Amino acid sequence: MTKQPPNVFPKLTEPNGLGTGPVPIEPYVSSDWFERERKQVFGRAWLCMGRVEQLPEPDTYIVKEIEVCGVIALITRDAKDKIRAFQNVCSHRANMLVHEPAGKGSRFVCKYHNWGYRNDGDCIGVPDRNNFFKLDMKTCGLTPIHCETWEGWIFINLQSRPEVTLKEFLGPFGEAFKDAPAPFADEAFTVNVSNMRANWKETIDAFCESYHVPVLHPMTIGTTFSNDSNPFSRPLNGVVRGAHRTMTTFGNPMFQPSPNSKVERLAYSNVDTGNTLGGAAAREVEAIQHHPAINPRRIPNWATEIVWMFPNYLIFYSPGGFFTLEFWQLTVNTTRWLARIHIPRAKDVRQRFQQEHHNCRMAEIFLEDVGNLERQQRAMESGGKTEILLQDGEFLLRHSIETIQKWVAAPTVREALT
């Protein structure tokens, strides 16, 4: 007989104003949809680029490729500490200006004919300038991209004039997550899945629910997120905030690595991470547990607060730290996935061992998801089904799909946000 969970879990779909019917598969497989998303979603939303700690001091920069819009963003912290974004394109013959993904430097020199730029965008050098035709260097700066920060997160907007401010875009989510902590944001272990054969929404869906965790991840985190009292890993809470959304997942308080998992048992002995997804000791990242929007119902047995910033940026808070995932669509059925896992610098061998184990475990979980998502994409493309069916615990992915549909259809961003 199938085990049924006790009825102690909140209903989440209808109280969050979401529908309950089947969801069409077309947006996951249609090239037309892909084109509309490119323009209506990624071309209009404020897009999170990461943390300010990735530019740790004046005269540092990062380069972020936004393939879906064909844009390469050069994000700089200038000498006055201002964070700016530009198109990474030289004004002379439009070659790529900066080739490295990140670095330090107050100026950039194009490697084609040596035109030079300061990191505030001004053009400061044109070799053999007098041989041009009335060239005005003041008009030869880098093309700026709208860039703002919020609580240490960097956002850009690719519209020539953003229809809404970042504050308006974040709306009630921005209010709720004001002062949210970001412990050890200056340290990161990154995992890059460069070309996964799956639609970007499928990858987002997989991180919008824990229903699949006991089934797809039985040997890694299955028993971390479920037990006899919650065998299907039902969520403990969930709130839709404008285009953004959060969910509190269940953590098994009795979790112990199996007696056969000798390496795992050794890795986590004496390091209280709150649960096995923790990269830090719980006491080092205590601020996470004190923020009112993280595990807002203050449920003792929580594992993670899943925080989705529309359209494609995920923050995973847990009692043992935080990590981020970003999913960038490349084509209708390929996606680039970047994970940044924030952990402290290890103070001793034991902690280093625990962290290495943690990072390997994360990569293992991601690979379980990648294989599954690539199979799902092939099956969706087969036309064997035209709709998917969602249960109450999958409310976050319903919100994701409904929000994308709304943005695709809405003539203005303001209407998409209402």
* Burial category of 213 from C-beta neighbours within 10 Å (exposed 0-12, middle 13-18, buried 19 and up): buried
For Fe ion, the closer of residues 220 and 289 by Cβ is: 220
Is the separation of the CB atoms in 226 and 56 below 8 Å? no
Angle at 304 between CA 286 and CA 249, to 5 degrees: 140
CA pair distance 227, 253, nearest whole angstrom: 9
Q: Closest distance between ligand FES and the C-beta of residue 73, in Å?
A: 18
Find the Cα–Cα–Cα–Cα dihedral 376, 377, 378, 384, rounded to 10°: 70
Q: How far is the CB of 220 from Fe ion (least distance, A)?
A: 9
Contact footprint for Fe ion (CB under 5 A): 369
**Which residues are within 8 A (CB) of 31 and not within 5 positions of it... i.e. 6 or more apart?**
332
d(CA 60, CA 77): 6
Tell me the window of 48-56, 86-94, 278-286, 325-333 that interacts with ligand FES (CB under 6 A): 86-94
- Give the residue among 418, 391, 394, 393 at the shortest CA–CA distance from 407: 418
- Residue 288's alpha-carbon distances to 86, 272, 398, in angstroms, are 33, 15, 27
Q: Closest approach of Cβ 113 to ligand FES, in Å?
A: 3
Question: Which pair of tokens denotes residue 292?
Answer: 């009112």
Cβ distance to ligand FES smaller for residue 110 or 416? 110
Look-up of token digits 């037990």: 227
Which amino acid appears at position 12 of this protein? Answer: L
Distance in angstroms (rounded) separating the CA atoms of residues 250 and 227:
9
Nearer to ligand FES, 39 or 93 (CB): 93
115 binds, options ligand FES, Fe ion, none, Cβ within 5 to 8 A by partner type: ligand FES
Collapse the DSSP code of 128 into the 3-class scheme (helix H, G, I; strand E, B; otherwise coil) and give the result. Answer: coil
Interacting residue with ligand FES among 90, 98, 281, 332 (CB under 6 A)? 90
CA dihedral over 350, 355, 356, 362, signed as positive or negative? positive
92 binds, among Fe ion, ligand FES, none (CB under 5 to 8 A by kind): ligand FES
Q: Which of 349, 366, 363, 351 is nearest to 320 (CA)?
A: 351
For residues 92-121, which are near ligand FES according to CB under 6 A?
92-93, 95, 110, 112-113, 115
Q: Can you say whether the dihedral through the CA atoms of 367, 368, 369, 371 is positive or negative?
A: positive
Distance between CA atoms of residues 349 and 76, nearest Å = 36
110 binds, among ligand FES, Fe ion, none (CB under 5 to 8 A by kind): ligand FES
CB nearer to Fe ion: pick between 206 and 294: 206
369 contact choice in Fe ion, ligand FES, none (CB below 5 to 8 Å, kind-dependent): Fe ion
Number of residues that bind ligand FES (CB under 6 A): 8
Annotate each residue in 394-413 with x if it binds ligand FES (CB under 6 A) or - if it does not, as one string.
--------------------
Least distance in Å: CB of 212 to Fe ion? 6
Pick what 204 binds: ligand FES, Fe ion, none; C-beta below 5 to 8 Å, kind-dependent.
none
CB of 47 to ligand FES, least distance (A): 26
157: helix, strand or coil:
strand
Structure tokens at 97: 């200006």
Query: CB-wise, 305 or 369, nearer to Fe ion?
Result: 369
Residue with tokens 């990590």: 323
Q: Which does 90 bind (CB under 5 to 8 A by kind): Fe ion, ligand FES, none?
A: ligand FES
Q: How far is the CB of 96 from ligand FES (least distance, A)?
A: 9
- Both tokens assigned to 307: 């925080």
Residue 414 contact partner, candidates ligand FES, Fe ion, none, CB within 5 to 8 A by sort of partner:
none
ω into residue 311 within 30 of 0, thus cis? yes
Return the one option of ligand FES, Fe ion, none that residue 39 interacts with (CB less than 5 to 8 A, by type): none
Q: Please, what is the minimum distance in Å from the beta carbon of residue 93 to ligand FES?
A: 4
Given Fe ion, ligand FES, none, residue 132, with its beta carbon under 5 to 8 Å by kind, binds none
Shortest Cβ 226–ligand FES spacing (Å):
56
Output 87 or 304, the one with its CB closest to ligand FES: 87
Q: Which residues form the interface with ligand FES (CB under 6 A)?
A: 90, 92-93, 95, 110, 112-113, 115
